[in-house]
Amino acid sequence: MHDSKRSPRSAIGARRIEHDYRELKHGLGLGHFEGRTWHGWHHHTTLVTAAHPFITGLRLAADPKAPGAA
């Protein structure tokens, strides 16, 4: 769907998803896995995904007006 046809709410949601994905990939190392097994990949992505809300909570506790506060 073209950006001009999105509702403002869906555009905000899309930006939130893009932000979270960038944070997972660059800030928490989602893209750093170089293993060879599915089990290793699953372990890595599980730990990165579990770290994301923890890091977000720390950021919001330090600054409640930080980006990502809902």
Domain that holds residue 14: 6-62
Number of structural domains (the chain) is: 1
CA dist 32 and 62 (Å) reads 27
Q: What is the pLDDT of residues 9-47, one digit of tens each?
A: 777 778 888 888 888 888 888 888 888 899 999 999 999
* Site of tokens 């800030």: 27
- Single-letter amino acid code for the residue at 51: A
pTM of the model: 0.61
Task: Identify whether 67 is part of a domain.
Answer: no
pLDDT tens readout for residues 40-69: 999 999 999 999 899 888 888 888 776 655
The answer as to whether 68 is a domain residue is: no
With vertex at residue 20, the alpha carbon angle to CA 48 and CA 8, rounded to the nearest 5 degrees, is: 160
Residue 11 and residue 18: Cα distance in Å, rounded?
A: 11
